[in-house]
Amino acid sequence: MERGLYIGRFQPLHRGHLHSLLWCSKEVDELIVAIGSSDKSFELRNPFTAGERIEIIRNALLSEIKENLDKIILIPVPDIGTHALWSHNLDLLVPRYKAVFTNDPFTSMLFEQRGKEIVNPIMINRDRMSATEVRNRMANDNNWQELVPTSTIKLIEEFRGIERIKRLYNLTK
C-alpha cells in the first residue's frame, strides 16, 4: 500500500487546502494529514485548537469525498522547537509513508535532507488562498467566507472563531 504525507497547520482550512488534499488523496492509496503545530492555539497565527481543526478538516472531506474517507488519516503533530529533529519526531507519530506532499520550501528541505520523496501538489489561487488572508479578512470584517468551504464557515461560527480572531488581533496591537 502506498501512503503519502500532507502537512499543514490549517488555521483555518481554506479552499486551496481542500483542493490540494483532494488532489493528493487521488495520488496515493492512503493519505496521512499531519496537523502541524497541534500544541498551539489561541494565538494570532494559530487561533484554532487541534481538535477544532480536525473537526473542520473531517467535515470538509466528508462533504467532498464521502465514500473514501477511510483512506485519509488525520493526526495532530506538535512542534518540538528544533527544526532538524521535527521531521524525525513526526515519523514517530504517523504511519510509514512513501512521499511528502508539500509546496513549502522549508518543509521540502527538511525531508529532502532525509532522502524523502517530495511531491508538489497542485495549488489554486495561491496569491489569495492562504489561512493568513482568511484570518486577516475575519479580523477586518471582510469577506472571508469566499475562501473557505461552506462546512468550514459553519464550524468557525460555532467555535466563535471570528470573535476569537478579532480579540487576538486586538491583543497584539
CATH of the domain at 69: 3.40.50.620
Query: Is 126's pLDDT higher than 80?
Result: no
Query: What tens digit of pLDDT does each residue of 67-99 get?
Result: 677 899 999 999 998 988 999 999 999 999 999
pLDDT at 57: 97
Q: At what angle do helices 150-158 and 161-171 cross, to 10 degrees?
A: 70
The answer to whether the Cα torsion of 57, 90, 20, 15 is positive or negative is positive
C-alpha span between 80 and 5 (Å, rounded): 19
Domain encompassing residue 54: 3-171
pLDDT tier, 42 (very low <50, low <70, confident <90, very high otherwise)? very high
Task: State which amino acid sits at residue 95.
Answer: P
pTM over 0.85: yes
Burial class (CB in 10 A: 0-12, 13-18, 19+), 78: middle
Over its C-alpha atoms, the chain yields an Rg (Å, rounded) of 16
Domains in the chain: how many in total?
1
pLDDT confidence band for 65 (50 / 70 / 90) = confident
98-125 per-position pLDDT tens digit: 999 998 999 999 999 999 999 999 888 8
- pLDDT at residue 67, rounded to an integer: 65
